Amino acid sequence: MRQILLTAASALVVLAACGPAPAQPGQAAGAAAPVESRPANASSQKPALAGQTRAPGLNSNTVGQYTTVASGLDHPWGLAFLPTGEILVTERAGRLRVVGKDGALSPAVANLPAVYASGQGGLLGVAIDPDYANNGLVYWAFSEEQDGANGTSVARGKLSLGPAPKLDNVQVIWRQAPKMKSSLHFGGRLVFAKDGKLFVTTGERSVRPGRVQAQQLDGTLGKVVRINADGSIPSDNPFIGQAGAKAEIWSLGHRNLQSAALDPQGRLWTVEHGAQGGDELNRPEPGKNYGWPTITYGQEYSGQPIGDGLTQKAGLEQPVYYWDPVIAPSGMTFYEGDLFPALKGSVLIGSMAGLNVTRLVLKDDKVVGEERLFSDIGARIRDVVAGPDGAIYVLTDEGDGKLIKITPKG
């Protein structure tokens, strides 16, 4: 297979050689045509920043070889690699499974707390304790029902492997508040920072009261949350000591955060679902407000403006990048492996609407190119993770969902 090493710097040189193409909104004249050619839903909206949407299209000539590692999964949602070589996979219906080094799929791991599995709710993201080799702890996000309402929760337990895997000393270490009656927008990604703190992404539950909560500090709907591994609150969180504010909040003004990953510098990046348009790539910083629903690059599913139809407002952060139409993001990784040299340094994002893996190239924290990969899988991509072996692993969001290992073809 012919592979081209496209670094962020060299990408622009290759693009220039492709010849001029009609400029699209947010695209410099003379750049390669973007991969998105459909008209925007919110056609009257314009990006605030150059290159904020419809970046120049890339072609890395990457072709994947697909190996099904496990199948028969009921809408798998999240995956994580154990240091011992096994893979943990969550199924939205409420089961945690272990994929053995030989590809064998375990029965459901015992002793999980009750999961509210309805609509978009269920068993969601999964993460491995950085000190797993010594403590055996794993963490998972799930939707939990209490007193007729529900919300996102995070639990942890000590994993015992074997023919009948189980969790011991299970604790729910964090619960979203307030809870609401909704089966939508739970967020649910878990990311351990390099300092051992745990980032939790949430949704604003889609209902109108939840939208309001995304802009308020007295609740954790529509937020990035930062906690210690035991659920306690880090002393350097941005709203510590502020009256009426939830101390675990890291950033606010988000809609439904289902993609989250650390970059090679250890900084958190997220992608959140927009409505009809307005999927956003952000690098959430402590204490900052990312705007939803006051500003957004999208519109209601009815075609009406969201709120006052604003895309900019003083004091509210602009997204690094946005999509309209949406890609429906879920799961992301920064690829630093050696199997795909052409992808090294890229951001890979699962796209459920596009049935592909969306690739972004960043330079100085801005998107300078976009590519759509592995569309011949032909399924909604719910999670994408760079494996320790350099392969790319994806989960397909289906009733007969699959864990697929992607290696170079040829």
Residue in 114, 106, 111 with CA at minimum distance from that of residue 161: 106
- Which position among 75, 185, 254, 273 bears the catalytic label? 185
The sign one gets for the Cα dihedral 129, 90, 140, 191 is positive
Q: How far is CA 297 from CA 57, 268, 324, in A?
A: 21, 22, 7
Residue in 145, 19, 2 with CA at minimum distance from that of residue 60: 2
Active site residue 254: no
3-state secondary structure of 183: coil
- Terminus-to-terminus CA distance in the chain, angstroms? 5
Can you tell me the distance from the alpha carbon of 259 to that of 352, in angstroms, rounded to the nearest whole number? 12
Count CA within 13 A, CB hemisphere, residue 379.
19
Residue 294 contacts residue 215 (beta carbons within 8 Å)? yes
- Determine whether 390 is exposed, middle or buried from the number of CB atoms within 10 Å of its CB (0-12, 13-18, 19+): middle
3-state secondary structure of 8: helix
CB atoms within 10 A of CB 234: 18
DSSP string of 242-297, one letter each residue:
-TT--TTEEEE--SBEEEEEE-TTS-EEEEE--BBB-EEEE---TT-B--TTTB-S
Q: Which two tokens stand for residue 373?
A: 């990969």
List phi, psi (to 5°) of 131. Answer: -105, 35
| Chain centroid to CA 78 | 10
Can you tell me the distance from the alpha carbon of 239 to that of 38, in angstroms, rounded to the nearest whole number? 41
List phi, psi (to 5°) of 161. Answer: -85, 180
Q: How far is CA 347 from CA 19, 44, 243, 282, 363, in A?
A: 25, 29, 38, 12, 11
**Catalytic residue annotation:** 185
